[in-house]
Amino acid sequence: MARRLLPTLLFSLTALLGLLPAAQAAPADPEPAAGPAADPYPSADDVDRARAEADLKAASIAGIEAGLTAARGELDRSGRSAEQAVEAYNGAQLALARARTEETAAARRAAAAEADRVAAADAAAQLAAETYRQGAGAELSALNALLGAHGPREAGRRAAVVGVASDRTRQILDAATSTAAAASRASGTARAATEAAGKAAVEVGAAKGRAEARLAAQQSEVAAIGRRREQLLADLAAARHTTVELERQRREALEATAARAAAEKAAAEQAAAEAAAAAAAQAGPAAPPARPWSAEGAAAAVAFARSKIGLPYIWGGEGPAGYDCSGLTMMAWREGGRQLNHFAADQYAQSTPIRYRDLRPGDLVFWTDTGRAADIHHVGLYIGDDQMIEAPRVGMPIKKASLWIMGTPDFYARP
C-alpha cells in the first residue's frame, strides 16, 4: 500500500514546487491603488476642455461658411460693376450715334440756309444794280411814272406798279436780311453739332477704356475669388473630415435653398406692395392700362432668346456669336417686330411701364442700384412663371434664371 501512495506524494510535491516561483514573484507586481476604485466618467476639466474644442471647431466652421458667403457676394458685386461699365459704354455709343445723326441733319440745314442766303443776296444785288442804272430807287422811279400819267385810268395802272415795286423791294431786302441771319444761326448750330459729335466720340473712347479696365479687373477678381473659395472649401472639408467635392455640393445646395427663399420673399413683398398701392389708388384717378400685349410678337421674342441660351456673354454684343444683356433683348424684340436701342435705360424709356402683376412673356425687367431709370444697368426678358432669360455677365453664358436672382427688379415694362 505504501508503494501505491508514493507516486501520489511525488506528484503533489512537484506541483507544490511549481507553484513556488509564482508565489515568490507575486510581491513584485504593483500594489492596487489605495482608496476607492478609479472614476470611469470624465472630470469637469475634461468636459470644459472638450466643450472649448468643440466651440473652437464650430467657430472655425462658421468663419469658413461666412467667408464663402462673402466670396459669393463679392462675385456678384464684381459682375454688377462690370455690367454697369458695359451699359455705360452702350449708352455712350448710342449718344454718339445720335450726335452723328444730328451733325448730319444740322449740316444739311446749314447748306440749305446758305443756299437761301445766296439767292436772296443775288436778288438784292440785282435790285442795287437796277437802282444804279435808273439813278433812283425802284420805288421813286415808279412814283415819277405815276406823276407823269395822263388821265385817271393810266394813273390807276401806274399806282399799281408803284405798289408792286414797293412790295418787291421790301421782300428782297427782308429776304436778304432774314436769310443771312438764318444762315448764320444754322452755321452755328452745325458747328455746335460737330463739336458735340466730337465730344461724344471722345466719351465713347473713354467709356470703352473704362469698360475694358473694369472687365479685366472683374476677371482678375473672379479668379482670385475662385481660388479663395476653393481654399475655404478645403478648410471646411478638413474641419468636417469630408471631401472638397462633398462640401462644394453641400454649399451649392445651401446657396440654391437660400436663393429660393429669397425669391419667395421678394415675390411676396412685391405682390403685397402692389396690392397696397392698388388699394391706396382706389380713391384717386384710375391707373393707365398696361400696353396691349401682342402674343405673336412676344412669342417671337421669347423664342429668339431661348435659341441663344448657352451662347457667351460678349460686351457690346448684338450676335450672332454672343450678346450682352441689352443686346439680347434688343435683337429678341427685333424678331418680335419692335425696334429698341442697344441700351437698357433707353429700352425702358421706349417701353410702357407695367406692374409685376401685369407681367406677360416677352416683357422686360430692369435693375438699378440707385432707383433711377436713367441708371438702369441690367435687363432680362420675362418668359413666365417668375423666370427670365438673361445675358448675365462676362464669363457666364446666356441662361434661364429666376426673376429674383438679382433681388426684386426695379422696373417692369412692355415693348
pLDDT at residue 48 tops 60: no
Helix (H, G, I), strand (E, B), or coil: what is residue 412? Answer: strand
Determine contact, residues 138/169, Cβ cutoff 8 Å. Answer: yes
Q: Count helices and strands (H / E) in the chain.
A: 8, 6
Q: What is the pLDDT of residue 354?
A: 93
- 293 — pLDDT class (breaks 50, 70, 90): low
Q: What is the pLDDT of residue 233?
A: 78
365 Cβ partners below 8 Å, 6+ apart? 359, 379, 380, 381, 382, 388, 403, 409, 411, 412
Alpha helices in 282-338 (DSSP H): 295-307, 325-335
User: Strand order of the sheet with strand 352-353?
Assistant: 352-353, 411-414, 364-367, 378-384, 387-390, 399-402
**Alpha carbon distance 391, 408 (integer Å):** 17
* Percent of the chain residues past pLDDT 90, beyond the cut: 24
pLDDT at residue 18 tops 60: no
Highest-confidence segment of 188-197, 223-232, 301-310, 370-379: 301-310
Highest-confidence segment of 13-17, 191-195, 210-214, 337-341: 337-341
More confident residue, 415 or 257: 415
Residue pLDDT, tens place only, 208-266: 888 888 888 878 777 887 788 788 778 777 877 888 888 788 877 887 787 778 777 87
Report helix angle 152-240 to 44-134, nearest 10. 160
Highest-confidence segment of 80-94, 220-234, 279-293, 320-334: 320-334
210 Cβ partners below 8 Å, 6+ apart? 85, 88, 89
pLDDT at residue 133 tops 70: no
Q: What is the DSSP string of 58-73?
A: HHHHHHHHHHHHHHHH
- 400 — pLDDT class (breaks 50, 70, 90): very high
User: How many Cα atoms occupy the beta-carbon half-sphere of 412 within 13 Å?
Assistant: 22
Q: What is the pLDDT of residue 318?
A: 92
* Helix H or strand E segment including 311: none
Q: What is the pLDDT of residue 26?
A: 45
**Alpha carbon distance 391, 134 (integer Å):** 79
Lowest-pLDDT choice from 160-169, 254-263, 392-401? 160-169
Phi, psi of 110 (to 5 degrees): -65, -40
pLDDT at residue 138 tops 80: no
pLDDT at residue 166 tops 90: no
Determine contact, residues 381/304, Cβ cutoff 8 Å. Answer: no
Q: What is the pTM of this model?
A: 0.65
Residue 68 CB neighbours (<10 A): 21
* Helix H or strand E segment including 132: helix 44-134
- 3 — pLDDT class (breaks 50, 70, 90): very low
Q: What is the pLDDT of residue 213?
A: 83
Determine contact, residues 379/370, Cβ cutoff 8 Å. Answer: no
346 Cβ partners below 8 Å, 6+ apart? 91, 94, 340
More confident residue, 340 or 405: 340
Residue pLDDT, tens place only, 295-310: 889 999 999 999 999 9
Lowest-pLDDT choice from 21-35, 165-179, 224-238, 337-351? 21-35
Q: What is the pLDDT of residue 321?
A: 93
More confident residue, 351 or 128: 351
**Alpha carbon distance 84, 343 (integer Å):** 11
Mean pLDDT along residues 1-27 = 42
pLDDT at residue 414 tops 80: yes
pLDDT at residue 62 tops 80: no
Mean model confidence pLDDT for the chain: 76
Helix (H, G, I), strand (E, B), or coil: what is residue 277? Answer: helix
Q: What is the pLDDT of residue 241?
A: 83
pLDDT at residue 149 tops 70: no
Nearest to 144 by CA among 158, 133, 156: 158
Lowest-pLDDT choice from 56-65, 259-268, 365-374? 56-65
Nearest to 186 by CA among 113, 135, 98, 131: 113
Domains of the chain: 53-237 (1.10.287), 293-414 (3.90.1720.10)
